[in-house]
Amino acid sequence: MSEIERIPHCSHWGAYTLLVQDGSIVGVEPFAHDPAPSPIIHSVPEWANPKRRVLRPMVRAGWLDKREHSDRRKRGAEKFVPVSWDEATTLVADEIRRVSTTYGNASIFAGSYGWTNSGRLHHASSLLKRMLNLVGGFTRHVDTYSIAAGPVILRHTLGSSDACDGRANTLDTIADHTETLVVFGALSPRTAQTEAGGIGVHRVESYLRKIVDRGIRIVHVSPLKDDMPEWVGAEWWPIRPNTDAALMLGLAGEIVLAGRHARAFLDRCTSGAEQLLAYLDGSADGVRKDAAWAAEICGLDAEAIRKLARRLVETRSMLTASWSLQRAHHGEQPFWAAIGLASIIGQIGLPGGGVGFGYGSLGGVGSPFNIGKSPAISQLTRPIDSFIPVARISDMLLNPGGTFTYEGKTQTYPDTRLVYWAGGNPYHHHQDLNRLAEAWTRPETIIVQDPMFTATAQRADIVLPATTSIERNDIAGNRRSDFVIAMKRAIAPVSESLPDFEIFDRIAGKLGVADSFNEGRDEIGWVRHLYEEVRQDAVGRHGFEMPDFDTFWERGYARCPVRAEHIFLAEFRSNPAAHPLATESGKIVLGSRTLAELGYADCLPHPAWLDRPNGSAEARRPNCI
């Protein structure tokens, strides 16, 4: 037997070393710099199991015979016919050309979601969109399943989604300065194992232990006690599901009732506060939002709510909310209510105070974050701007020409004829799969590009077998990680599978845009180029020296310039006029002129408690500001 090779690599669950012997992976070792590596990394060798893989290009028999006139209801039931790569890429290129010419490029939906691997070159979603942008464009999705309503409301109330993207207070400042930590939802190392674009170091557990060691009082508000580790010793408040906004507003109302709200902060740093205050004290609707009101809705103790309200203004207090809170009816309200409560307390912009979202939702949220450039292949310029909100796939396919509202504007669903899904599985993460199954019969052609024979691939017309990351060269890194990681090819491609970049390059060639797609670079040329962009940005903008590519590739990793001890909105707090937010007022929006003008019944101009809808079809489709 040959000697064991040690191959650096990375996945969504962290960096690691693959131990390879005689062309097979015989072991996985965690990244030496990671204090809390995820055990999920040990599943990586299973990626090469041929029983789970798409082994060769396949075409559904009925579609191969009749093309766009085939019986679409046989998707998922009809047999596949193996074809050569040349035939498969010709079929794909011809379909893109046919649909764009006959119906327009908005009729092509590039549905990829991007989680197939952590590599930034073979990022299937970006490569698909890069190729389609070179031939006229496509319909895209905006926002994510993980968090959609949250960033939309934050963009209008805080001017950006930074507070939920990993740039709120870093956890080191909470560990050092916070005295009262209120966790709405989860804050657990269990859910912090993953990170888009990979992660070098898992730090959530380390910060939690520092928080515990300092004796910070932790109030954990969640229906599930294990949303925080038992060893944290948090005070558990078993709230009724989906009532977090009511508790936040009740706490804020108690503070206002006692006359202890931060009037100076509200006047200087917020706009529309008078609307929120009128709602809290009941002058707007005749209902005072206080501890008794919240307790009845949330199933909690009113006196405990009163005591917590007093403590929030007496101590340095930090509010955190999981991304999961906005995955519900009126999902924007708990995020906006948390901002409202934090503003009433008045500690936004102070060390260890304020509000942040998503701690523990991904591994990098709350850790020191990369202030340099992250490796990414450009999707190029979009020739058209046709889009849908991410979870409206079924609505789009079932209602061509129908309308929806997004950020206060009315948009139209395209007439989708072609769906190209690369590196994702909507039958795994989409809501109401029966409705999706019906919608899935509407497009004339569905192309799926994936390493695995997923439920989505089984329901395709054309299936293209992509390699997994362990069968190609790539680079991992993202804005929430302080490392970039070399992802070296460890084994040969399984059967006839090809790297995503090569698949799209072949299709681009048949569409006549290969030169613009590949820019004269092969796989390793692109990996080198992406790394050099990161390195040059680090030294040019931040004076931070990173090793040259060859050293990085040999070592397997490089550190990035990062910011630790970050205090969210500190500069804004110190001088709102000099550091205005990108909102309608330049301040934190607690009462929105935009929403007042729109007059939505299901999204008031201020944070509010809106009970669950009555189940009507209209109620199930809320407006999006």
Catalytic site positions: 113, 115
Please state the length of the chain: 625
Q: What's the CA dihedral at 452, 453, 454, 457 to 10 degrees?
A: 120
DSSP lists the bridge partners of residue 485 as 476, 557
Which residue type is seen at 65? D
Pairing assessment for the beta strands 483-487 and 557-559 based on DSSP bridges: antiparallel
With beta carbons less than 8 A apart as the criterion, state whether 111 and 124 touch.
Answer: no
Helix or strand (DSSP H, E) at 528? helix 523-542
With beta carbons less than 8 A apart as the criterion, state whether 118 and 11 touch.
Answer: yes
* CB environment 357-389: b (16+ within 10 A), e (fewer): bbbbbbbbbbbbbbbbbbbbbebeeeebebbbb
3-state SS assignment for residue 560 = coil
With beta carbons less than 8 A apart as the criterion, state whether 138 and 386 touch.
Answer: yes
Residue 259: how many CB atoms within 10 A of its CB?
7
Helices (H) and strands (E) in the chain, counts: 23, 25
Pairing assessment for the beta strands 24-30 and 14-21 based on DSSP bridges: antiparallel
Q: What's the CA dihedral at 531, 533, 537, 543 to 10 degrees?
A: 50
CA distance 539 to 531: 13
Q: 346: exposed, middle or buried (C-beta count within 10 Å: 0-12, 13-18, 19+)? A: buried
Residue for token digits 């991304």? 323
Helix or strand (DSSP H, E) at 253? helix 244-257
Residue of 115, 155, 209, 165 whose CA lies nearest to 366: 165
Helix or strand (DSSP H, E) at 532? helix 523-542
With beta carbons less than 8 A apart as the criterion, state whether 226 and 186 touch.
Answer: no
CA distance 36 to 30: 9
3-state SS assignment for residue 167 = coil
Long-range (24+ apart) CB contacts under 8 A made by 402-406 are 404/621, 405/623, 405/624, 406/142, 406/624
Which residue type is seen at 326? Q
* Three-point CA angle 58, 63, 69, nearest 5°: 165
Beta strands in 22-154 (DSSP E): 24-30, 58-60, 80-82, 108-110, 139-142
Residue 18: how many CB atoms within 10 A of its CB?
24
CA distance 225 to 239: 10
Residue of 419, 465, 468, 499 whose CA lies nearest to 80: 465
CA distance 380 to 209: 44
Residue 250 exposure: Cα atoms within 13 Å on the Cβ side: 24
Q: What is the CA radius of gyration of the chain?
A: 26
